[in-house]
């Protein structure tokens, strides 16, 4: 795989305590040869940007770039920013690794190589296939994940182990075909972009990954997130079944 055509994207918000772990644990091959290692600081209140620059230098990360949003654009908004940068720079692949250290950076090479080998439009690391309870996933989050995923698979006629992993590899050519800026800027951006890919018949793959839940702060309101995910999925289902037209999905899928 040509890693010079690969971008590593790390969304970060108030991640000064965890970002050093993520950057230091990036595989050396990516530190040395990735075309871009991009941290998008979503208007953090702490020293995330300063820590990112320091750690990039300390860990000898080549082709490092920091982009700081002037205001918090949301988790989905941060992704829109990053993918727009990757598209304009002409990369072939982009991998997203969260800045909170819940996902193992060491698995980045595996995900990238599997994505290229399988020619996937999206390949993600599945926590559900990787024993998340052993990694400290709270029981209520595990159960919520399973319930939401069951409903989504039922409505979308898919067999995906989870829709909610943030450890993802996208083919850039596939991202170009999706109107990402019309999707939510909140946490359920992840669900909406997967719905778009399912709708277009794109190839989605998954590989098991371990996960780690420590003392890092979680900014996701689980109840609000679940409602938003279900609302997006149900509105898409009703739209494609012609039971209730959605102006949003009409614009996105046009």
pLDDT at 198: 98
Beta bridge mates, 208: 126
- Expressed as residue numbers, the domain containing 68 is 3-253
**Rounded to whole angstroms, how far apart are CA atoms 106 and 124?**
14
CA dihedral 225, 229, 235, 241 (to 10 degrees): -170
Distance, CA of 80 to CA of 86 (rounded, Å): 10
Q: Which residues of 211-229 are buried (b: 16+ CB within 10 A; e: fewer)?
A: bbbeebeeeeeeeebbebb
The residue among 72, 59, 65, 73 whose CA lies nearest residue 89 is 65
Report pLDDT for 221: 85
Burial status of residue 139 (CB atoms within 10 A of its CB: 0-12, 13-18, 19 or more): exposed
- Domain holding 185: CATH number? 3.90.550.10
Whole-number Cα distances in Å, 215 to 100, 136, 188, 218: 10, 10, 23, 9
Residue-wise pLDDT tens for the chain (254 aa)?
889 999 999 999 999 999 999 999 999 999 999 999 999 999 999 999 999 999 999 999 999 999 999 999 999 999 999 999 999 999 999 999 999 998 999 999 999 999 999 999 999 999 998 877 877 888 888 899 999 999 999 999 999 999 999 999 999 999 999 999 999 999 999 999 999 999 999 999 999 998 777 666 677 788 999 999 999 999 999 999 999 999 999 999 98
pLDDT at 215: 63
Query: Number of folded domains in the chain?
Result: 1
Phi-psi group of 147: left, alpha or beta (phi > 0 → left; psi -120 to 50 → alpha; rest → beta): alpha
């Amino acid at each position: 795989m040509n890693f010079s055509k690969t971008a590593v994207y790390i969304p970060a918000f108030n991640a000064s305590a965890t970002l050093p772990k993520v950057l230091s644990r990036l595989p050396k091959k990516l530190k040395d040869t990735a075309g871009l290692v991009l941290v998008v600081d979503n208007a953090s209140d702490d020293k995330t940007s300063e820590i990112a620059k320091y750690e990039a230098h300390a860990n000898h990360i080549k082709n490092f770039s920091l982009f700081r949003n002037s205001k918090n654009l949301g988790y989905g908004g941060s992704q829109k920013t990053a993918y727009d940068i990757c598209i304009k720079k002409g990369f072939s692949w982009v991998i997203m690794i969260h800045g909170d250290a819940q996902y193992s950076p060491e698995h980045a090479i595996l995900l990238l190589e599997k994505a290229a080998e399988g020619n996937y439009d999206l390949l993600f690391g599945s926590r559900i296939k990787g024993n998340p309870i052993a990694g400290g996933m709270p029981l209520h989050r595990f159960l919520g994940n399973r319930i939401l995923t069951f409903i989504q698979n039922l409505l979308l006629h898919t067999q995906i182990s989870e829709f909610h992993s943030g450890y993802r590899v996208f083919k850039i050519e596939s991202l170009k075909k999706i109107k990402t800026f019309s999707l939510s800027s909140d946490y359920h951006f992840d669900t909406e972009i997967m719905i778009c890919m399912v709708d277009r018949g794109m190839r989605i793959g998954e590989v098991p990954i371990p996960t780690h839940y420590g003392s890092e702060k979680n900014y996701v309101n689980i109840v609000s997130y679940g409602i938003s995910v279900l609302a997006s999925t149900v509105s898409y289902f009703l739209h494609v079944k012609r039971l209730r037209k959605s102006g949003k999905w009409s614009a996105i899928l046009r």
